[in-house]
Structure 1
Amino acid sequence: MKLLEANPYRNCDLGDKRLTNRAVLIAEALKVKYGHPLSEIFESASDLKRGYEFFSNPKTTFNKLTQPSFKQTAQEIYGIPIVLAVGDTTYLDYKKILEKRDDYGPTGNGGNGLILHSSIALDPDFGQPLGLLWEKFMSTMLGFLTVIAAQLLRMTYLHRNSPHSSAELVLTKIQMDVLLASTPPKQKKQIQLTVDWAIKAIARLGGYLEHRKNSPIGIQVLWRGWLELETLCQGWLLHENLKSIY
């Protein structure tokens, strides 16, 4: 399965098929426009209203949203003799926000906000991330974002550990076509469709300066590039649909 291709939220058990369908749509929207205000993420006022209703619905908990991703990781690591489960804690400090929220709490050193506990499965030989094992948190929104972040982390380490593997491991054909079309003409003759090419091409979309050859590609620039790639792919598909009309 290609990284980031499947939408795990199709398997969410939220007690209502309509909520599951809404989770799938929200995940697709966030994947393209992460970091934007919700009013820009959703295409219409009705979608924005349903988004707010989804996040405030007591059925759409963080645990229910993340369970399909954890099960997917469990399936992928099944049969591997040794897997490292590495835990980490992230502190989200909102002490500058004057209005206190019910789910906020002390984060240490006078901070006030949220605490996220995560565990990720790693290959013991190369440190390659294999997916999220579990997370403990209270925010519905982060139930979407942490899954995307973990998958991008997998891509980052795959670039380090298996740069010469085929780009088809991480990209769909449309994504590769878009990256090829956006490649400067002088570089197209030297292209080899590997993971190394794919990650560098995505990073360039995110502002990576290729002349700084000793600078590793970080997850933030990869995330920005991924968002830009998803936007370009949407435009590509719209153009293909337009051609089919005429």
Structure 2
Amino acid sequence: MTACDDRSTGVSWAAKEFETLDLGDARLNRRAVLLAERLAQKPVASIPNACQNWSETVAAYRFLSNEDVNWDDVMQAHWQASEQRISQHPVVLCLQDTTELDFNGQQMAGLGPLSYEAQRDLYLHPTYVVTPDREPLGVTNAWTWAREFKSADGTRPGALESTRWIESYERVAEQALRLPQTRHVCVCDRESDIMVRLGRALAELPADLVFEADEWKAAFILNKKPVLKAVSELNTVLPLIAQLGGFLARKGDGEPGVESIWPGMQDVAVFVEGLRYARQSGGI
């Protein structure tokens, strides 16, 4: 047993984590649990080195090559267990970023280029959830893809890769609706330009999906515009916030970028903080 096993019941951590796993065959379920245990014990080892004998190794490769088993079928049980853990916390941090799966130049089908066209690997974009005290709660979503190779004209066909940030945010938002008692904080690096991408992808959705009422109303007040009674749309609020950060909103200027949205958000945050302090002190 490992340090993470439940010694009171004799149940391994993997058996508990994948308790709801259903791959359509009990043997596949057991193999998935055993493989998770072996790889967790030696996370940097190859599959033959992680397995304890040759029969385990052969069975592991047979499991991984089974076309009836998809990665998201295996992850489904982990996602459910993770959501249960998340529900026990008032605030969680949902960290999303992209990493490269480097297969060391091995020749196999389904790989694509990375930073250089000569590389043959995959990209992975997971959402990893932790508590503010850095306690890990699980991976709740993941994108994996192989880039298309560039065409003769230098362009790269295929799906727009930046969509991964919006897709991941949408999954976080969906989980937040299921767990209203837990506040989900989505954390991204600057590559995401999350406000810009949200404004473009979800423009017609109500602003209160992203902003609190005081925040989107502040965008109107600071621009000296009358506050609408109904919740405004994102594509109305974001340009107002960007104007606070220097966006001129002239005809032909196009959509605002992160350079103007983030300074505008700082002005909104200061205004809202002052507003709430005034309320608490009885000034409003």
Higher RCO (CA 8 Å, separation ≥ 6 residues): 1
Which structure has the bigger radius of gyration?
Answer: 2
TM interval, short-chain normalised:
0.3 to 0.5
Question: Given the two structures, how large is their TM-score scaled by the length of structure 2?
Answer: 0.41
